[in-house]
Structures are given as C-alpha cells and as structure tokens.
A and B are shown apart, each in its own frame.
Chain A
Amino acid sequence: MSARALRAAEVSAEVLYRYTLHLGDTSLILAQRLGEWIGHAPALEEDLALANVGLDLIGQARYLLSYAAELEGKGRTEDDLAFLREPSDFTNLSLVEQPNGDFGHTIVRQLLIDAWQLELFERLQYSTASKLAELAAKALKETRYHFRFSAGWVVRLGDGTEESHRRVQEALDGLWKYTHELFAPNEVDGQAAAERIAPDLATLRAPWDARIDEVLRQATVVKPAHVAYAWHGKNAQHSEHLSRLLAEMQYMQRTYPGAQW
C-alpha cells in the first residue's frame, strides 16, 4: 500500500471509530436517562415501557461501543468506554443528556429522538460499514415500537387535559433548541457520509419533520419556531447535566476499579 493509500485507510478507520462512538454514546446516555425512571414512572406499565426502551438502547450501546473499542485497537472494552471516560470525551447528542423532567417531558424527548433514529436506521442499513448496517437493520425494528409508544403518549397528553397539554407544549418548547444538532453535520458526520458509512444527515430532516408534524397535529401541540443557537454534544460540548449523569453511572467503576459481578 502506498503512503497516501495508507493515510486514507487510517482516516477512514478513524472516521468509522468516531462515528460509531457517537452513535454508541447517544444510545448509552439516553438509556441511562430512561433507567432513572425505574420505580418512579406514573404507572407500572409506563415504568416497564421506559425500562424496556432503555434496554433496547443499552443493547445498541453495547454493540456499538464494543465495535468502537475494537476499531480503536487499544485494548479498551465497551465497559472502559462507558465507565472510564470523562464528560469531555463523550460525543452523544445534547438532546439525550437533558434531564428527564416530568413524564411528559421525557416522552417528548423520546419522540424527537425516536423519529430521528427511525430515519437514521432506515438509511444506515445500507452503510458500507457492514457492522453498522447489521445493527441498524435490527434496531430499526425495535425503534418502530419506541416511536409508536412515544408518539401515542404525546398525542394522549397533548390532546388530554389543559394541564397535560400545557406541560407537553412547554417540554417541546424547551427541548426544541437541541433538535438542530440532529441534522447539522459535524466533521465526523460529513466524512462518514462522504465514505457512505452514514447517510447525509440533511436528508433526514424532511421525513423527520413529516413524522413530528403529524404527531404534533394530533396532539394539538404547536411546533416551536427555529432557534438560532445550536448545541453540539457530538463535538463533546456538553451541558452541565452530562457530568452529573456520568457521576452516577460511573460511580461503581470509579470507586471500585475493575469490579465485576
């Protein structure tokens, strides 16, 4: 292999690693947030539902972080990546690290991300990275159930009582500023798209809008105006909430390094 070809291969491997890590971090952090509901949801059925959605996300995260660790080739494992990195190393979307708030707030956050994952996985099935394609095909089936669950609740709450409507609208207004990041490619997204590892993020926007618009219409909730300020969790620029989340999630491994059970 020529020096130039070798450099190109190294760049590809680095892009694939960083893109895989970004998707894995997003699933992991959202799973941790949903896990916080266990024992606290408004009804047993919703407690189980949020835990089950979280479990699917943990499954995605484990697969993606294991693959990222393998790509990195430094002997780290999925657990090292999850439990022994600093907040400034995480590249999850800012949306998923936002605190749960009330049940309506959690459900609105879930709707926004479920619709995004649906559109992403639909296209990621055709990734040139076969490991990502395989995961996407599998996760897509699960995500359809996640979306049906979150969309159903947003409609029920939005078109429910005055109180539930107000809370869902406020949640949407508060979370909307984090949605810009879902469609604005950073350097890794751009390179991954160029190598056909990932879809062009901009192509997800219209179908995502269509899904969200339909749910909001049924929920009698108003879509917020575009916001100028963009968050960049995937560039490892996080809100203070991520540190607290990680402090809890990583506590055991930080306190008892290497503990297993």
Chain B
Amino acid sequence: MGTAAGSSVSNLGSLTEREVWQLLTEVPDPEIPVLNVVELGLIRHVRSERAGHVEVGVSPTYTGCPATEVIQHSIRDHLESAGFGDVNVVTVLSPAWTSDWLTESAHRKLREYGIAPPAYSVAQPRHLFREPTVRCPLCASAKTERVSEFASTPCKALYRCIACLEPFEYFKCI
C-alpha cells in the first residue's frame, strides 16, 4: 500500500512530517539496497509533537528479520544527521506487514536488480498458496520453477528459470 504512504506524504501531517517522509526515502534496506524503507512499506507513521522531535513507526517484514534492528538504527542516524535532536523509532506490529505494501517503484526496481517481485496481492480473494506465475526477472519467461521455499533472506524464495537457466530470487507474497 505504497499509495497510502504516498498519500500520507501529500495529504497528512505538518511540514516537518512531510520532510521526514522525504528523508526516509533516502534510507536504504540493508539487504536489498536498491529499495528504500518507504518503498518497502516499512514506515507506518511519522509524528512530530514539537520542534526537533519525530516519532517513526516501523513495521518489521518478518518477525525474526535481522535487518529490522539495522533499519531502525539507520533511520535514527539519518534523521539525527538531518538535524532532528529527538528521534524515537517504534516497532509497529499491527496490522502485520504485507508484501502488498511494496510500491510500484519497488516492483520495478526489484526486477531491475534481478529479484522477481511479489506475483500477486495477498488481499485478493484467492488462495494464498495457489502457485503463482513467477516471471524470470532476467528474460521475463513465465517458465520458472521453485527450488526452495526459503532463500538468502526471510522475505524471498529461490527459483530457477527453465528458459534461460538462470537461478533467481523471488520476493514472497505474505
């Protein structure tokens, strides 16, 4: 629901909050550095109650994802170096993060980076585990097969393209 984050940028919040949203687009994900934390749908809210103060709500992708702490530190560092003296980063668990929150730009960047983006929306009324068509990010063929349910990070599965024979990672729908 990157559009929700987007609309927060334009419609809600003070000048400070909009500025913070903008600054957060400069914080990369440590595992997939082509994406920033806003595109990943990790930022759930930005609040500023007084000058110099800002609270950022961050949703972890997977409960045990080791990148979560790094991300929270990066956010704090970045906002502090931008001049905020009082930065509070809080974990927001509910509603649970979903791959539906990846923005369109995130889908495009993942593909360019060689990772197949989520193939469907989990909010759609379809069975979560009907096998999706995962297109090869390198040659765009739909003839691919899953090698493993899990890959180098919790958010991805391992696939192989039958057409161009390249292995690749797929960003799982959750």
Instruction: List chain B residues, Cβ under 8 A from A130.
Output: 94
> Which stretch from A9-17, A83-91, A142-150, A156-164 is at the chain B interface?
A142-150
Distance of B74 from chain A, by nearest CB (Å): 19
Distance of A143 from chain B, by nearest CB (Å): 10
Any chain A CB within 8 A of the CB of B58?
A: no
Any chain A CB within 8 A of the CB of B142?
A: no
Q: With A137-B94, A145-B172 in contact, is A48–B152 under 8 Å at CB?
A: yes
**Total contacting residues, chain B, CB less than 8 A:** 24
Any chain B CB within 8 A of the CB of A53?
A: yes
Q: Are A149 and B149 in contact (CB under 8 A)?
A: yes
The contact string, 1 if C-beta is below 8 Å from chain B, for chain A 67-85, is 0000000000000000000
Q: Are B151 and A138 in contact (CB under 8 A)?
A: no
Q: Which residues of chain B from 48 to 89 have any CB-CB distance to chain A below 8 Å in the complex?
A: 60, 62-66
Any chain A CB within 8 A of the CB of B96?
A: yes
> Which stretch from A54-62, A98-106, A111-119 is at the chain B interface?
A54-62
Q: How far is the CA of A37 from the CA of B94 in the complex (A)?
A: 32
Q: Are B128 and A135 in contact (CB under 8 A)?
A: no
Instruction: List chain B residues, Cβ under 8 A from A135.
Output: 63, 93
Determine the main DSSP class of B at the interface with A: loop
Q: Are B60 and A59 in contact (CB under 8 A)?
A: yes
Determine the main DSSP class of A at the interface with B: helix
Any chain A CB within 8 A of the CB of B121?
A: no
Q: Are A148 and B63 in contact (CB under 8 A)?
A: no
Instruction: List chain A residues, Cβ under 8 A from B148.
Output: 45-46, 48-49
Any chain B CB within 8 A of the CB of A173?
A: no
Distance of B137 from chain A, by nearest CB (Å): 19
Any chain B CB within 8 A of the CB of A52?
A: yes
Q: Which residues of chain A from 187 to 244 have any CB-CB distance to chain B below 8 Å in the complex?
A: none
Q: With A60-B63, A60-B64, A142-B174 in contact, is A53–B93 under 8 Å at CB?
A: no
Which of B65, B149, B152, B158 is packed against the most chain A CB atoms within 10 Å?
B149
Q: How far is the CA of A252 from the CA of B3 in the complex (A)?
A: 46
Q: Are B64 and A134 in contact (CB under 8 A)?
A: no
Q: How far is the CA of A45 from the CA of B151 in the complex (A)?
A: 7
Q: Are A139 and B174 in contact (CB under 8 A)?
A: no
Further 8 A-B residue pairs, CB within 8 A, beyond A56-B154, A130-B94: A45-B158, A52-B154, A55-B62, A60-B64, A137-B95, A137-B96, A138-B96, A142-B62
Taking beta carbons and an 8 Å cutoff, which residues of B are in contact with A? 60, 62-66, 93-98, 128-129, 147-152, 154, 158, 172, 174
